[in-house]
Structure 1
Amino acid sequence: MTSIPDGVQPILHSDQGTLYQLPRYQNRLDEVGLIQSMSRKGNCLDNAPMESFFSLAKREFIWRKEFVSINQFKESFSRYVSRFNNVRISRKNKGLTPVEIRNQALAA
């Protein structure tokens, strides 16, 4: 499994569901070092990029495989995310990978 680089804090995407707003849940996220990404009410575009990624991940990865253990899932999903970011090109992004798009934006 890929380790998280120093200085990078993972983000957990969630919706406005009641569970995700509970102080106990939010405290637990703080304890394990996760930042919560939660869209504001009435603004579905806040998390549109993540919703799009989750939709693709389900179609391209999760629904096409069977996993025998959580560790197998974690390792496979880590490889999928790495491929998605570094290898998989997108026609809507003129044949560039997400990393290439981000690097262009940072260079501008």
Structure 2
Amino acid sequence: MSVQTICELMGVARATYYRWRKQKGTQTTKEKRDQDVGEKCAAHKYRYGYRKIASFFPHLAEKTVQKIMQKYNWSCRVKIKKRKRTGQPTSIAPNHLGRDFQANEPLQKLLTDITYLPFGQSMLYLSSIMDVYNGEIIAYTIGTTQDTQFVLDTLSQAKGIASEAILHSDQGSVYTSYDYQKQVKERGIIMSMSRKGTPADNSPIETFHSSLKSETFYLDGIHSTTNACVIRIVEEYINYYNHIRIQMKLNNQSPVQYRQLAV
């Protein structure tokens, strides 16, 4: 088919086609600028933040470099800056759990924690509550802000918790906040907290969060994707973890299978 015939079929003027063909393959100044920044980020394996990358481009403002890196998800991947947890601290609860990760019945001892999910377009956080009895994740919330309401949303999902049950966490300000402790006390739950800087006091849920990332994002080599994809991966894994993934300590049963057979 001739160019004239194709243009007529496509409803495009011949002049427009030839102008497009002439410009095809040419790179705008902004595109070349972005490419140069990207090549520098890749050369350093995304170890540098925008300030260091900007030092290679004295003609560009730091803010410009920052926007370019954010646009293409070229930001530093070595160390995710920890954001200050919001919430008004009130009091630290004793460590009632004392690393006794054994329970005789469901919902007797619970663990809760927050982990970072730095794989999407923006930082996401996962708040989880685990039943010590069988390691089942009985409640979780995924959000963009780790404030007091974030962990309260998770707590509200945990149904059927008996009075005098122990809920163990770290000393994060969201857990020591007045609103969180008020909700815990109103439900008759005993608050327990790890010693400062001692993650081993909450190791089962720390291990779960580590397994979640290792068996999904790291295993599949997913370093950057959409927030929606991150949420889908986490939700599917938690369902798999609860219902399918066997654990030797549960006689090679999944948490849900172990609980159902025990009943």
User: Which category of TM-score, normalised to the shorter sequence, fits these structures?
Assistant: 0.5 to 0.7
Name the structure where helix makes up a greater proportion of residues: 1
Which fold has the larger relative contact order, with Cα–Cα distance below 8 Å and residues 6 or more apart in sequence?
1
Rounded Cα–Cα distance in structure 1 between residues aligned with 2:202 and 2:239: 20
Classify 1:87/1:41 alpha carbon distance in 2 versus 1 (closer, same or farther; 3 Å).
closer
What CA RMSD, in Å, does the superposition of the two structures yield over aligned residues?
Answer: 3.4
Unaligned runs of 5+ in 1: 31-37
C-alpha distance after superposition, 1:10-37 (max 9, x if no partner): 36x852134543447x49xx7xxxxxxx
Q: Is 2:194–2:202's contact at 8 Å kept on the other side of the alignment?
A: no
C-alpha distance after superposition, 1:35-92 (max 9, x if no partner): xxx7414396764432221121122123232342111110111111111111111223
Classify 1:66/1:41 alpha carbon distance in 2 versus 1 (closer, same or farther; 3 Å).
closer
Residue in 2 that maps onto 1:17: 172
Normalising by structure 2, what TM-score? Answer: 0.28
Which of residues 171, 179, 193 in structure 2 aligns to 1:40? Answer: 193
Equivalent residue letter for 1:10: Q
Identity percentage of aligned residues: 28
Residue in 2 that maps onto 1:98: 255
Unaligned runs of 5+ in 2: 1-138, 140-154, 159-167, 184-190
Q: Is 2:171–2:194's contact at 8 Å kept on the other side of the alignment?
A: yes
Residue in 1 that maps onto 2:208: 53
Classify 1:19/1:99 alpha carbon distance in 2 versus 1 (closer, same or farther; 3 Å).
closer
Which structure has the greater CA radius of gyration? 2
